Chain A
């Protein structure tokens, strides 16, 4: 059954109730919302939960920042970028750092659905495109 606009509205409201003061999804708040829904289930319980899940899934990347660096030797870059992102975005983002050797050198930073990249891998890809 298609999700009604009312269900969507309620799911959005639940998502807004799940956020902390800094705009991040708060696990404790989510748990308490789920508990109260379980105790007093609405008529469209399953549909509402599904919509709440997809709203949350869509929202989570917007308050997360994924930083990829090729190796642990670039921890300085990682630290500087993390500081810059936190300063510019009023500390709204939680930053996950990971290693991606395919970058060769440089970094790749994903903030929401924006990707900032300056890596050898990307330059080689640009070269391939310009030559093909």
Chain B
């Protein structure tokens, strides 16, 4: 009993007894989650404003006579004439390792029923991106575990790679696969006890999505054991637009903590199209002038200031990184839309997913022609670069030839060979969801393809053969893969061992 009273006494003793000064205003209008407040003459842009019943808001519009505040929370308890107070604080979210494995809302409050998050650190939601001096060019790979991506559109730590495509083309699956692969690599690295191993922690930001979709994603992450390395920031479709607008910035602040503490992090923004729509809604309610497609004039800045916060820092600044995988949903495959072109120009490349390929059963439905990674190839491991160097060109040539040759009956031998090779590569790249492949096995399979080991197998059986080879390399022919994993190179000795392993496998497969 006495300890409880002591606790309260200490709290009372610690309370400040100095007079406080606050700046106040009065709500003059309240609609659609936005309050117009008269007064608040000393409020700062983006400052948190306190309303009655512990409701918070952010000052987004500072006009001559009034302040436009977006309300974060339930507006039903507020009314015209209520008092609003400045807090002198920018909106902040809790950060730290304690957030791993947790699901939080747009302001960092836990919503997973696992109790409070015990962290005493907070980062402001809006921060200025690292400048030129603390940055370093991308030179370390971030393996997605997806063969089509790791071979043709490699991603490096600190890169911003856009995942773009129509609805239901597997955009989220690519992001989730990448998260699952990071968790697998993290576990492997932690078990190995390598002091130089750098884990990649993940943040998944769900903006404007159905709660059922978010629940499904959480379930997948739990089933694969990846949840321990992931923080989920959720602002579902039912949430107010202010929270949907804030969620990516909150997630980014959580990721920045890892980056600034010398760790590597990956953040997925799913998706920024809905984020732009939420911002448009807020801007229209705030009566900001609208431009193309009714988006406000600063919609480019909305995404550029967010994505610029992803970076690779140099050694003097801790050597941390924050890799971003923003997702954009296109309409009818139109990549020339307003928001898609904006985000394409901000990011360091894009993975474009095609509906046609998806419907043909080519999954992941990566369009080779429209996908690119502008900086990631510098981070690809040498062994993989050696075997995958030509594959993008071969596949692009195949797609072009396939389109032209469908009306041709008489094809020359070279064209036939290219078409045959292309069809085999397409089959090789087919990969099930939530089943990422380690990079050393990817390298070995790619090597087998480049060295014609699949040429005698009929095209419809290639996918089966690739799965069989992956299993063989993971269970029996592990030696060459271990060498690739340890050295990152494909030396002659390793190649000989790989050749023997693939030949052994081929005998069993035949």
Contact = CB atoms under 8 A, between A and B. Distances in A.
Interface of A: 54, 58, 61, 110, 112-118, 122-123, 126-127, 129-132
A58 B41 contact: no
Contacts of A123: 15, 17
Given A123-B15, A126-B15, A127-B11, A118 B21 contact: no
Contact of B40 (A58, A110, A113, A122): A113
Nearest to B64: A8
Contact of A115 (B18, B21, B38, B41): B21
Contacts of B40: 113
B28 to A, nearest CB: 10
Nearest to A58: B65
A116 to B, nearest CB: 5
Nearest to A62: B41
A29 B20 CA distance: 37
A127 B42 contact: no
Given A113-B39, A114-B22, A132-B54, 13 more contacts: A58-B38, A58-B65, A112-B41, A114-B23, A115-B21, A117-B20, A118-B17, A123-B17, A126-B16, A127-B11, A127-B12, A127-B15, A130-B11
What 10 pairs between A and B have smallest CB-CB spacing?
A118-B19, A113-B39, A115-B22, A115-B24, A116-B21, A113-B41, A113-B24, A116-B19, A117-B20, A114-B23
Interface in B20-62: 20-25, 38-42, 54
Contacts, number: 46
Interface of B: 11-12, 15-25, 38-42, 54, 65, 85
Contacts of A129: 54
A74 to B, nearest CB: 15
B460 to A, nearest CB: 64
Given A58-B38, A58-B65, A114 B21 contact: yes
Nearest to A130: B11
Contacts of A126: 15-16
Contacts of B16: 126
A131 B11 contact: yes
B109 to A, nearest CB: 13
B18 A118 contact: yes
A116 B20 contact: yes
Contacts of B42: 113-114
Contact of A113 (B12, B15, B18, B25): B25
B20 A118 contact: yes
Nearest to B40: A113
A122 B12 CA distance: 13
